[in-house]
Amino acid sequence: MVLERQYWKVMMSRFWSPVVHSLTPYVAGEQPVIEGLVKLNTNENPYGPSPHALAAIGQAVNDTLRLYPEPTGLKLRRAIAASHDLDPGEVFVGNGSDEVLAHTFQALLKHELPLLYPDISYSFYPTYCRLYGIEFREIPLDERMRVRIEDYRQPCGAIILTNPNAPTGTALPLTAIETLISEHPDQVVVIDEAYVDFGGESAIPLVRKYPNLLVVQTFSKSRGLSGLRVGFAVGQRPLVDALERVKDSFNSYPLDRLSQAGAVAAWEDRDWFEKHCELIIASRERLTAALGELGFEVLPSSANFVFARHSIRSGAELAAELRKRAILVRHFRKERIQDFLRITIGTDAECDRLLDALREILA
C-alpha cells in the first residue's frame, strides 16, 4: 500500500520543475458555502465595500473591456499618492497585497544574509522565501507575544514586519518602527500594514525620510474589497522601480479595468471607510470584554480580529465545536499559538452568535 502510494506520488509529480518539490504552499482560510454561516476566519470586512465602489465597477462593465487596462494603475496610484503628499511614482499597485508582497520578496528581500521576521507572523512569508530561495531567520516574539525591535539588532539582509502583527493583532508604535528603520540604513525594511486602519500607526509618513522603507497595504480589509484583489506599496522611487521591473517580467496588467475603477472609488469614499473602521473597532472592544468574561485571555488588538485563548479548553476543540454550529474562526496548528483562536470582527449580530455558541460550548 505504502509502495503503491509512493509510486503514484512519483508518477503524478514527474513533470514538475525541481523547485516545485521543495515548496510548502500557503494554506488560505476556508471559503465554504454553508447556509447561515458566520464567517469569522479570514478577516474580511462584514460591511462590504463603499456603494460608490460598486457603482464604479458597474459603470466599468461596458465595451471597453475588450481593451487591456492601463498597465500601471495610474489613476489609483495618483489617488493614493495625493492622499499622502507623494508622487505617483512612489506608489506600486498589484493584484492583492499578496502579489505586491510576492514581488517585494523577489525584488528586494533576497540577499546573502538572512531576511528577518517574527516567528509568529503572516504565514505567507516562509512560503515566499521557499519559492524564491531566500535565506530567512524567524525571530521569536517575546513572552507577551510582542515584537521586540532590540531582537532585530543583528546582521541581516532585510527585515519584514506585519504591523499590527497577524495573527496576534498587537501593534508597535511608529517610534519603534522608525528606530528599526534608522538602525538598518543599508537594509530594506518592509512594513506590511494590512490591518493598520483599525488602530495602528502607518509608517507611510516616514517614506520621504527613509530610502530603505517600503510600506504595503491592501483594499481587502478596511475597504471591504477582498474579492476585488487590490493591494499597494509605497516607497521611494528605486524601491518602486524594482517592483515594476519584476511586475513587467511577470504580468503587465495585474489590475483589470473593474479593479481599477472600484479601487479608485473606494479610496475616494473616506466617509464610508472611516465610519466602518470605527464600527469594527467598537465591536472589537465589545467582543474583547465579552470573551474576557467567558475566561479567554485576549491579546490587545489593533486589527479587525482578536487572538484569544481559553483558560481550560483547547483552541482545536473550540474551533471544531464552533464549526459544528456553522461558525468559522481560524485555528493554527503551530507551536506557541495552538491554543489560540483568531476571530475576525463581524457585525455585532455575528459577534453575538459567536458568544452565544461559546457560552453553550463552555457550559
> What residues make contact with ligand PLP under the rule CB under 6 A?
43, 96-98, 122, 162, 166, 192, 194, 218, 220, 226, 231
Beta carbon nearer to ligand PLP, 229 or 309: 229
Spatial contact of 42 and 31, defined as CB atoms under 8 Å apart: yes
**Least distance in angstroms from the C-beta of 1 to ligand PLP:** 39
**Least distance in angstroms from the C-beta of 302 to ligand PLP:** 13
Beta-strand pair 305-310/340-344: antiparallel
Q: Which three cell numbers stand for residue 202?
A: 502607518
How far apart are alpha carbons 208 and 211 in whole angstroms?
Answer: 7
Spatial contact of 341 and 167, defined as CB atoms under 8 Å apart: no
**Least distance in angstroms from the C-beta of 333 to ligand PLP:** 18
Beta carbon nearer to ligand PLP, 192 or 197: 192
**Least distance in angstroms from the C-beta of 98 to ligand PLP:** 3
**Least distance in angstroms from the C-beta of 93 to ligand PLP:** 11
> Phi and psi for 173 in degrees, rounded to 5?
-70, 160
Beta carbon nearer to ligand PLP, 88 or 231: 231
Task: Give, in degrees to the nearest 5, the angle at Cα 188 between 186 and 193.
Answer: 150
Spatial contact of 305 and 43, defined as CB atoms under 8 Å apart: yes
Beta carbon nearer to ligand PLP, 209 or 336: 336
Closest CA to 361 of 307, 323, 308, 306: 323
**Least distance in angstroms from the C-beta of 121 to ligand PLP:** 8
**Least distance in angstroms from the C-beta of 60 to ligand PLP:** 20
Beta carbon nearer to ligand PLP, 192 or 201: 192
How far apart are alpha carbons 220 and 238 in whole angstroms?
Answer: 26
Beta carbon nearer to ligand PLP, 141 or 357: 141
**Least distance in angstroms from the C-beta of 96 to ligand PLP:** 3
Q: Which residues pair with 324 in a beta bridge?
A: none
How far apart are alpha carbons 347 and 305 in whole angstroms?
Answer: 12
Beta carbon nearer to ligand PLP, 212 or 304: 304
Beta carbon nearer to ligand PLP, 215 or 265: 215
**Least distance in angstroms from the C-beta of 30 to ligand PLP:** 13
Closest CA to 37 of 358, 361, 350: 350
How far apart are alpha carbons 169 and 159 in whole angstroms?
Answer: 19
Beta carbon nearer to ligand PLP, 42 or 347: 42
Beta carbon nearer to ligand PLP, 157 or 164: 164
Contacting residues for 139 by C-beta, under 8 A, at least 6 apart:
116, 117, 118, 119, 147, 151, 152
How far apart are alpha carbons 312 and 334 in whole angstroms?
Answer: 18
**Least distance in angstroms from the C-beta of 325 to ligand PLP:** 24
Q: Where are the alpha helices (DSSP H) in the chain?
A: 2-12, 18-21, 51-60, 74-83, 96-108, 124-132, 174-183, 237-247, 257-268, 270-293, 315-324, 348-362
